[in-house]
Structure 1
Amino acid sequence: MKEDKYDVIVVGAGIGGLVTAAYLARAGFKVLVVEKNGQPGGYCTTFNRRGFLFDTTIHAIQNCEEGSILHKIFFELDLQSDINLIRPNPTDTIITSSKRIDVVHDIEKTTMSFQKAYPRDSLAIQKFFTIISKNEFIRIYSKFRKKTFAEVLNTYFLEKELRLIFAMFLGNIGSLPENTSAITAFALLKKFIVSGGYYPKGGMQTIPDSIVAMFEKKGGKIILKTEVKQIIISRGKVCGVECSNGRLIKSKYVVANVDIKQAFTKLLKVENESEAFSKRLDSMQPTYSIYILYVLLKKSFKDLL
């Protein structure tokens, strides 16, 4: 049974875990990342079939403009030359049985595209896009703070199909309109529709791969295909992890880049947990499952439209 020791162990090589590990390694800590899957990246991964690349989950990212959080991370981790972000236009194309709507980098053109597809709701569409595109948070908050997104959609739009299209964007966070506040939905739609998305040249896998390369360059180590069985606690302090293969790895600190319920019910064996915390943990519900279909086409997408 092999035993190692690190300053910090990061459980899970999703983007959050990798960025945390990269910053720690950059600061001089001895860091190990342990990932149960065969490739790093979590939702931000890519696989190859017959020479075609498929992104497993994430198909666009936001907050990449200069001054944004991702721009700052890429700059501080010196990833600008490794991650080449492009901005597809349109960002999204919505196709129904009889309509096509392009979401482009021009809010007026996007608005007109929706209005052309749903003329009965033309005025409501204009008002709706005005709400999500303008920086009038205080006025919007006071008016919509107690409303769900479902209530807003039902109030504004006559066309059921249009309501479903706007609700579809919440799939990016695994939520439904009736369970999402209007304010949260407006913020998301502003990012998805108004700001648009960015895409890394070469596929989403280039992002985690670039972070891993920088992390290893700074002395970090990553182990794949290894699942952490539990976080070890001794005398009230974290002291490492035990892997499912029996390997014990010691550390001063552990970062659990997993969901909170898994961290506290599976990885941590905490004694004398407060009743209030237990109730809060039990009340947390996972997001909804999403089915994704990956399709290979004989013709280019443009030729099929």
Structure 2
Amino acid sequence: MNRFDILVIGAGMGGMCTAAQLAVNGYHVLVVESLPRIGGRCSTIDHKGYKLTTGVLGVEMSGGVESFFHSIGVPFDIRPAGDFHYLINGRIIKVPSGKGLRYLLEAAGADESEIELLMGAISRALNWKIPSPPVSFQEWLSQYTQDPKIQAIFQTIVATQLFVGLGGITAESFFRYIRSNQGIKPFGYAPAGNIALPLELERIILENGGEVWTRARAERILMENKSVKGALINHNGRVDTITASAVVSNIGPLNTVKLAGRENLDHDHLKQLDTLLIPAQAICLQIALKCRLFTPSHLLVAGSRRINSLHQPTAMCPDLAPQGHHLLVATAITGSSSELMDLEQEIDLCMQDLKELFPGFQDKTEILITGVHRDRYPVLHTVPGRDVSIRTPVINLYNVGDGVKEAGYCGLPATVESANRVAADIHKRINLWRSDEATAYQTF
């Protein structure tokens, strides 16, 4: 059968959450994925006995992701990573639960008068008036402090939460994120690997009559009179015409354009995509350890050349590595989001950081995978504050994922939130189509 209510292109978490929500609501859903596995950047690669991430490191807890899973009756098996730990000037600083930014700045030895000035400015930004959009967070911060320790700490916070540097995000976007999340939420690790999350979503889709095809590549989105009709899907050696009432693209707004054809989309939409979107880039080194390099599950690194976070998920989830071994995941946000990284130089800077942080590093480790998130697979399809609408100019053709983030969201929570919006919009419109008012509405 090649007729579905909803066709979802791409089985990343945005696509899978949208499909799961709609399947639970009674829609006949098909998800197609070109890769042999589902999950996108929230999946798992088995390599030499290790379960390696395809992108997502820590999974936010006590927030929108967990709420979504509970809302559709899906298990959310995440083990807490514990209190936040920072590595600053060779010192590990633990930020106990209930403590916040002031505690961290004081523990790092920042000047008390600058802390007072900065905390007052932050309070005004959050509780009175958010800074105007053109001002970068780096420009905003420099008004209140030139202390390199403080700037390094904020660089780490921005890099690990928003995947950009201080100059790569507006002050407005930063404070909307902090306000929306009421700070920075705790996170944890999936004991069976990140793929456990999309697998649970796949299970709920299948149980509700939907289908998920892997190794199924979308060739072209089909439309008529500026309204989507389905897509051509290359699956099992043949090209099938899949018809659907709505199509959801989870492959990024620019890739959606390629499938739909630029000639079929309005000029204003194309111009917006061409000028607004700036993909975020990152490097992720996944490293085998003979023994743990530090006691906590993670360290957020301040003041390095490139490395901004170090995760030892095996501290909480030993099954992610062979028995008696550990896994280290080191991440780095590259120098610029608007220019393609010099890969060799960026990796060299990462390795310099690791060798300085851990003397003898090369003698007790093995690089398993060097993950490069750019081009077709960036860490984000666009940096926060430069997102586009979930709706495209083609009626009933949607984008979902981290290219259509709502202000105040980023990463996996942003992807899930976008899925909620897309599913709700489709549900509202398809309910309308099924009503007696549908004809009058659509011909208006």
Task: Identify the TM-score tier after normalising by the shorter chain.
Answer: 0.7 to 0.9
**C-alpha displacement of 1:126:** 5.4
> Residues 68-147 of structure 1: matches in 2 within 5 Å?
68-79=63-74, 82-91=75-84, 93-108=85-100, 111-120=102-111, 122-125=112-115, 128=118, 137-141=126-130, 147=135
Aligned to 1:256: 249
Report if the CA contact (8 A) 2:42-2:195 is conserved: yes
User: 1:293 and 1:106 mapped to 2: Cα distance?
Assistant: 31
User: 1:293 and 1:105 mapped to 2: Cα distance?
Assistant: 29
User: 1:125 and 1:210 mapped to 2: Cα distance?
Assistant: 45
Report if the CA contact (8 A) 1:83-1:206 is conserved: no
SS of the residue corresponding to residue 213 of structure 1 reads helix
- Residues 195-248 of structure 1 deviation map (CA, whole Å, 9 limit, x = unaligned): 332434433222111111111111111111222121122454322212345412
Which residue of 166, 184, 197 maps to 1:177?
166
> Residues 1-305 of structure 1: matches in 2 within 5 Å?
4-62=2-60, 64-65=61-62, 68-79=63-74, 82-91=75-84, 93-108=85-100, 111-120=102-111, 122-125=112-115, 128=118, 137-141=126-130, 147-171=135-159, 172-189=161-178, 191=181, 194-244=184-234, 245-252=237-244, 253-264=246-257, 266-269=258-261, 271=263, 273-302=265-294
Q: Could you tell me the TM-score, scaled by structure 1's length?
A: 0.82
Q: Which amino acid aligns with 1:217?
A: E
Report if the CA contact (8 A) 1:175-1:287 is conserved: no
Change (3 A) 1:235 1:151: closer
SS of the residue corresponding to residue 243 of structure 1 reads strand
Q: Which amino acid aligns with 1:280?
A: Q
- Residues 31-78 of structure 1 deviation map (CA, whole Å, 9 limit, x = unaligned): 11001122211121122333333323222233x43xx53343222210
Relative contact order: is structure 1 or structure 2 higher (C-alpha 8 Å, sep ≥ 6)? Answer: 1
**Unaligned segments of structure 1, at least 5 residues:** none
Change (3 A) 1:12 1:94: same
SS of the residue corresponding to residue 103 of structure 2 reads helix
User: 2:211 and 2:223 mapped to 1: Cα distance?
Assistant: 23
Q: Which amino acid aligns with 1:35?
A: E
Report if the CA contact (8 A) 1:46-1:205 is conserved: yes
User: 2:88 and 2:110 mapped to 1: Cα distance?
Assistant: 16
- Residues 164-205 of structure 1 deviation map (CA, whole Å, 9 limit, x = unaligned): 331233334333322312132134456496433243443322
Segment drifting more, 18-27 vs 242-251: 242-251
Runs of at least 4 residues of structure 1 off by over 6 A?
none
Q: Which amino acid aligns with 2:165?
A: L
The number of residues matched between the two structures is: 292
Change (3 A) 1:53 1:260: same
User: 2:124 and 2:206 mapped to 1: Cα distance?
Assistant: 41
The share of aligned pairs that are identical, in percent, is 20
User: 2:148 and 2:182 mapped to 1: Cα distance?
Assistant: 21
Q: Which amino acid aligns with 1:185?
A: F
User: 1:161 and 1:227 mapped to 2: Cα distance?
Assistant: 48
**C-alpha displacement of 1:139:** 0.9
**C-alpha displacement of 1:267:** 0.8
User: 1:124 and 1:249 mapped to 2: Cα distance?
Assistant: 63
User: 1:129 and 1:71 mapped to 2: Cα distance?
Assistant: 31
Q: Could you tell me the TM-score, scaled by structure 2's length?
A: 0.58
- Residues 105-156 of structure 1 deviation map (CA, whole Å, 9 limit, x = unaligned): 2225x63343222333x44345546766x69744142x56663210132233
Task: Please give the root-mean-square deviation of Cα atoms over the aligned residues, in Å.
Answer: 3.0
**Unaligned segments of structure 2, at least 5 residues:** 297-357, 359-444
Change (3 A) 1:114 1:202: farther
Report if the CA contact (8 A) 2:77-2:190 is conserved: yes
User: 2:222 and 2:287 mapped to 1: Cα distance?
Assistant: 43
